[in-house]
């Protein structure tokens, strides 16, 4: 960061910025708490995305073929366009600057960003998980195994997973917290971090269950090109059919959706978008009220060490002395 | 059940009735939906616990020695007194009868009992888990390993587990459902079943973590009798001490609490009280809205089978055709 | 199957036949035990792969771009070419027929095929897992986090997983079983099924750990086309660099390998190739010696029900009566 | 340690020494690698257990009532008698001393002790797990639920767990290693650590499954005192019966065995005896051949950094260049 009378000039890069190349405006915030040494990095500002000096390098898309919704129903529909955003001496006018070296506030901004960002994950994941649970249930139906005990167990677990994410995310909103200085209401950080950790930590299990129900055909299904070949279609129709009454085409389309759901791309954005598992774990550990928890254990173990807790120290001895 | 003009005479037994021998009144309800064949079992009534013909056979308590709170801090404090309650031709007067052969209603009662009972588990388990998390955190502190990476990971997980149970249970209340006929509000069944399944399914993991942090001493600590022996106490003080500043007595008391927490008794009531894991799984499967889930998957996979869903069928095609 | 004096004529299909289109000869065996009703399907034979009437429909490959080993190091190198093999009135001469309606032997053949096939999975998986564990260890090194506690835990688990598969698979060979009729030695079925279940059941966990160590960059890395662009390479070099001394190119190549390892394709062939998890579970349940296990429990619980076990019933009472 | 012309005088304590008070001789070895500063602790010797100055403080037994094999079939039969062994100026004559301050060898001894000790765990655990699997299978039979899908899944998992421990432990013997100096053969350290980690890490899962199959009755069964009461026995016989043909007594005995198997004591000795999970993890990490693993990843990712591996660097490029 260089200072000028009318603004600052910044250089550096931000990684993994979803939809950045599709945006009109970029808002840049610090990514962590900072110390005085980090002063030059303690900047925050808004800037139009096409300002001179800004370069985007987009991620390689997961989709294999644009517009082929048969083979790639999800990856050909959704491309988040995560980009590496490079600032090469970009001028930021004073009126667009939020932070200019006040390193003491960097942590507040980063932390508050996290509070909202965790929840944003739950909002789309709750919907995506309905699709995952639905893909498993529909596949079980198409494969004629919906009544098998182990399939019912997996569908139950997928329901539990799906609904718990919805409940936990909603609770983060319903138990929102107000910032005492600004009056800004934000999602409950403990709730939002738990919701994010819960869904990200269990994603691979969910995908494993869907893949287990679907079968090896997810790896070996023929492509749209074969399906569209008039010589091959009758053979595929006959030999890769679903249970009676379900068109082979529906089964193939569902198989392709399940392949898309289990991609590296889906795995990795579930784990790392909106903060990695390690970030949620760190937040939860910092938010934990271990003094209260320890007071509960001390009361039960009858450890009298002179510490006081507003809840547990006020409870009567148990069982009451006779 | 035999009918008399002034009431009914019942015989049979109810198993695992917590606190039954300590109660003034017993309320008996059917345990499942019934068919016409089961008519004789479709009874519900209230009766004083000392009515002629009622016998209680209490469970063997987990506690080893009454009043020894050093060695058995939990099991000597809490004895739920689960009993087998036997009705040997017990007369129930008409005015105490709620159901007398109307088998069509048996399922409603059993189901509604479950709705409340699941939640009752969360209310006490949320408090118990604070004790479990606190025992782990305090033990880590006493053993001088609170900063170790794997210990911090375990404390984080225990916090996540503890707080998620609180959030899910509270959400069951906040999203309560009203019975259309009676106006009775009851805990949200999906939320309450998820909360119960979440805590019961993860209990053994929690106990494993606490035991891992505590060390083999949980299995090998000397008893109160040794601690109270003036010849032995100085040796125990010296060789089984905690980190500097923590009395050995406190460490021993905590070790004993952790032993009590990991008992078969605690394991089994966590799994089975308020309904087994299988009961929650069955409830969740029944409550699942698979039609909506499947609609989500069909939209994504572009499966047009003529089915309609109020949410997903109304959404625009994605991505929009250009 | 139609019979002719000089052979049989077969029609039908075999699904998921790895490398089939690359083979000179196909050997066809029954896939399960059969009953008399299934007689027409109880056939086994060898036939050249280009016999009249045979059609292959190959699976869609996972690779996105042939020959692009930078972006797709694994999927562009390995294409197993699983195919649907269709037999449309294919003539099999008598001298190539192994089974022709003798349905009683179908199960033996299917079962013996499984015994060898389970083990074949372990042989290549043991090598693949060295690559998985190595990718995680190298990524931790490149990202400069190899000393972090949670990373060391994950590397330990990956080593445990990798080495256990090797040990279990080798044990299946070392404890091979001989068929009493033919003298044929085959891999120990219990050992081979346990080895297969162990690696397939834990694969998603392994991939999750590798992805966790690697970071979101696995989903968002730029492609070879960007890397080969002389304007962009310096920017990528600078901003996506590894720790000091490691070329950015090496980090990118490793990131791409990790993306390939976590693909749907890898997930699904690990779960389903050489038999699904359900197939291994069924085999293990059938092979289990529950009589011996129960005898162990009866002895410990002092249940005298008159049953006899060659091991446990011969052991002395414990503790000995004084 | 003080030196005298005819021997040394030692003081200190060893914790958790199984069977120590029942032994004739004690062999003392260092518990870890040592540095020059630790010289005074680098001692190893044999001594008769009743030598002057030795005190044992035994662990509190898990058993509740000596000789009551109905209620405590396991804990009344087996008491390992782990003891804190205190040496208060115990004289060790020169001819019983193995190590006297040669700190450089402390680590070798500790490490070699671990090699054998890990395996000793597997030998008894393999037998104990047959009892655990048998208790589950028998309970499923007694409760009439052996055919339920989720029960079969649990029995399959318990078989897999039981047999894998046997296979891994046996492999540690079959792949034993010879010490180059002494010619001493010892269990393969990688195999033995994996076997120990595998069984200890999965124990709580096994117990959870057994408890799940057994039901809440494990927490609420009446005691032998009630069973022996002639007024109560007919009621217990009738209302706590097993499936037809199984005496209620057998069911009760099995329930009590399952309670004993799930005790804190069993949990903790499984986790911590013969070294904690952390000890096994550390050993596995140290034994891991990460150079070979990394070479596998480098070859696959085509990372040419000049490193050489005897296996992977000698393999041909794949796929071959055309």
Mean pLDDT of D305-313: 96
Question: Average of pLDDT values for B183-195?
Answer: 96
**B322, pLDDT greater than 80:** no
Residue B297: pLDDT over 70: yes
Checking if the pLDDT of D322 tops 60, the result is: no
Average model confidence (pLDDT) across chain A: 94
Residues 6 or more apart whose CB falls under 8 angstroms from that of B11 comprise B87, B88, B89, B90
Shortest distance, CA A5 to any CA of chain B (angstroms): 46
Given a cut of 70, whether residue C111 has pLDDT beyond it is yes
- Decide if A263 touches C, using CB distance below 8 A: yes
| DSSP reduced 3-state for A215 | coil
B17: three-class secondary structure by DSSP: strand
The CATH number of D2-101 is which of 3.40.190.170, 3.30.70.141, 3.40.50.970, 2.40.110.10? 2.40.110.10
Instruction: Kindly give the interhelix angle for A106-142 and A149-174, rounded to the nearest 10 degrees.
Output: 150
Query: What local confidence, expressed as pLDDT, does residue A182 receive?
Result: 86
User: Nearest 5 degrees, angle CA C220-CA C223-CA C224?
Assistant: 155
Has residue D84 got a pLDDT over 90?
yes
Share of chain A above pLDDT 70, in %: 99
Q: What is the CATH number of domain A105-285?
A: 1.20.140.10
Q: What pLDDT, in 10s, does the model give residues A101-122?
A: 999 999 999 988 988 999 998 9
Tell if the CB–CB gap between C220 and A267 is shorter than 8 Å: no
Confidence of residue C61 (pLDDT cuts 50, 70, 90): confident
Task: Give the range among A210-219, A299-308, C304-313, D237-246 with minimum mean pLDDT.
Answer: D237-246
- Percent of the residues in chain C that have a pLDDT greater than 90, as a whole number: 86
Taking the CA of residue C96 as centre, how many other CA atoms within 13 Å lie in the half-sphere pointing to its CB? 19
**Any chain C CB within 8 A of the CB of D77?**
yes
- The model's pLDDT over C153-206, given as tens digits with 9 standing for 90+, comes to 999 999 999 999 999 999 999 999 998 888 999 999 999 999 999 999 999 999
| C121 three-class SS | helix
pLDDT surpasses 70 at A13 = yes
Q: Is B190 on the interface with A (CB under 8 A)?
A: yes
For range C71-91, the mean pLDDT = 94
What is the rounded distance in angstroms from the CA atom of residue D41 to the CA atom of residue D11? Answer: 10
- The answer, for C153 touching chain B at a CB cutoff of 8 Å, is yes
pLDDT number for residue C321: 62
D258 backbone dihedrals φ, ψ, rounded to 5°: -65, -35
Residue C23 tokens read as: 């083979």
Least Cα separation, residue A70 to chain D (angstroms):
30
The lowest-confidence range among A309-313, D64-68, D142-146 is D64-68
Contact B31, B76 (CB under 8 A): no
Residue D321 has pLDDT above 70, yes or no: no
Where does the pLDDT of residue B244 fall: very low under 50, low under 70, confident under 90, or very high at 90 and above? Answer: confident
Number of neighbouring beta carbons within 10 Å of residue B204: 23
A212 inside 8 A of chain D by CB: no
Kindly state the DSSP code that residue A245 receives in the 8-state scheme.
T
Of B220-234, B239-253, C235-249, D307-321, the one with minimum mean pLDDT is: D307-321
Mean pLDDT of chain B: 94
Instruction: State residue C242's pLDDT score.
Output: 85
- Transcribe B29-90 into DSSP letters: --SS---GGGGGG-EEEEEETT-TTEEEEEPPPS-SSTT-TTT-TTTTT-----EEEEEEEE
Q: Starting from the edge strand earliest in sequence, which strands make up the sheet with D83-93, in order?
A: D2-4, D7-17, D83-93, D54-58
B residues 264-303 lying closer than 8 A (beta carbon) to A? 281, 284-285, 287-288, 290, 292-298, 300-303
Residue A177 · residue A188 · CB < 8 Å? yes
User: Is pLDDT above 90 for D317?
Assistant: no
CA dist A201 to A288, B129, C152, Å? Answer: 19, 21, 18
Q: Angle CA(B199)–CA(C204)–CA(D195) in degrees, nearest 5?
A: 80
Question: What value does the mean pLDDT take over residues C63-75?
Answer: 92
- Tell me, what DSSP letter sits at residue B321? P
Report residue A289 as tokens: 């009220």
Burial of A79 (0-12, 13-18, 19+ CB in 10 A): middle
Lowest pLDDT segment from C162-166, D109-113, D318-322: D318-322
Banded pLDDT at D319 (limits 50, 70, 90): confident
Q: Looking at beta carbons, which residues of chain A come within 8 Å of C273?
A: 216, 219
Tell me whether C245 touches chain B (CB under 8 Å).
no
- Which residue reads 């490029």 in tokens? D317
Spell out the domain ranges in chain B: 2-101, 105-285
Give C64's contacts in chain A (Cβ within 8 Å). Answer: 64
DSSP state of A68: -
ipTM, interface predicted TM-score of the complex: 0.95
Chains in contact with chain A (at least 3 beta-carbon pairs closer than 8 A)? B, C, D
**Averaged over D128-138, what is the pLDDT?**
98
The band of D200, judged by pLDDT with boundaries at 50, 70 and 90, is: very high
Tell me how close the Cα of D189 comes to any Cα of chain B, in angstroms. 22
Is residue C82 within 8 Å of residue C30, measured between CB atoms?
no
């Amino acid at each position: 960061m260089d200072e000028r009378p009318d603004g600052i000039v910044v250089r550096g890069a931000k990684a993994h910025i979803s939809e950045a190349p599709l945006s009109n405006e970029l808002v840049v915030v610090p990514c962590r708490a900072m110390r005085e040494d980090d002063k030059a990095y303690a900047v925050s500002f808004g800037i139009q995305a096409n300002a001179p000096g800004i370069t985007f390098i987009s991620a390689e898309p997961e989709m294999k073929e644009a517009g082929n919704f048969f083979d790639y129903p999800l990856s050909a529909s959704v491309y988040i366009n995560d980009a590496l955003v490079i600032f090469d001496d970009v001028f930021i006018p004073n009126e667009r600057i939020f932070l200019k070296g006040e390193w003491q506030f960097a942590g507040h901004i980063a932390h508050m960003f996290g509070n909202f960002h965790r929840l944003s994950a739950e909002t789309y994941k709750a919907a995506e998980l309905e699709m995952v649970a639905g893909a498993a249930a529909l596949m079980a139906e198409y494969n004629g195994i919906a009544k098998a005990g182990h399939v019912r167990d997996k569908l139950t677990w997928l329901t539990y997973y799906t609904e718990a994410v919805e409940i936990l995310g909603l609770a983060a909103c319903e138990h929102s917290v107000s910032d005492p200085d600004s009056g800004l209401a934000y999602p409950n950080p403990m709730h939002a971090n738990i919701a994010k950790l819960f869904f990200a930590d269990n994603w691979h299990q969910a995908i494993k269950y869907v893949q287990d129900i679907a079968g090896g055909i997810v790896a070996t299904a023929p492509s749209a090109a074969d399906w569209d070949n008039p010589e091959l279609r009758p053979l595929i129709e006959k030999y890769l059919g679903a249970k009676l009454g379900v068109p082979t085409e529906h089964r193939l389309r569902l198989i392709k959706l399940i392949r898309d759901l289990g991609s590296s791309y889906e795995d990795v954005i579930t784990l790392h978008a909106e903060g990695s598992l390690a970030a949620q774990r760190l937040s939860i550990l910092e938010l934990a009220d271990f003094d209260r928890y320890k007071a509960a254990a001390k009361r039960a173990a009858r450890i009298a060490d002179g510490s006081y807790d507003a809840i547990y120290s006020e409870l009567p001895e148990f069982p009451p002395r006779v």
